[in-house]
Structures are given as C-alpha cells and as structure tokens.
Amino acid sequence: MAQHDIEITISKTGEVRVHVKGAKGKNCMEYAKWLAQIIGTVKDQKLTSEYYEPEEKNRIDLKQELHSDD
C-alpha cells in the first residue's frame, strides 16, 4: 500500500493550508472531506496531477509532527 502524506501549514494569521501527497485519483478527496470536518470551511481547493491518476485503496493512519518557525 502506498504511503500518503498530509502536509498542514498554519500561518501566523491562522490560515490553514493542506496538501495531500501520494493519494492517487479521487482518494485525496476522502482526506479533504475528513480534514474539512476537523478544520472548518474550505476557502479554496486546487487539484494536483495525482488527482487524475488511477485510484488506489486508502487507509488513514494519523501521525503528527509540530514545527515552529521561532
């Protein structure tokens, strides 16, 4: 099973950017739907080339890494 990464960046103004990496086809939309329930309203959405690739099965395992720009 391929590894999928979700990169979440929160700006100093509170804007949240999410980039789903490695999820082929419309599977990335499952991550987007799940994240929207947690984070809130989606302001903008851009599809990457991976969206148009053949789909793979998904399994979501959560791992959190916190980074500070201090």
pLDDT of the residue at 1: 53
Residue from 27, 33, 34 nearest 51 by CA: 27
Q: Model confidence at 58, in pLDDT bands (50, 70, 90)?
A: low
Query: How far apart (Å, rounded) are the C-alpha atoms in residues 25 and 32?
Result: 13
- Alpha carbon distance, N-terminus to C-terminus of the chain: 36
More confident residue, 16 or 56: 16
pLDDT in tens, 3-38: 778 888 888 988 888 888 877 777 778 878 888 888
pTM (two decimals): 0.56
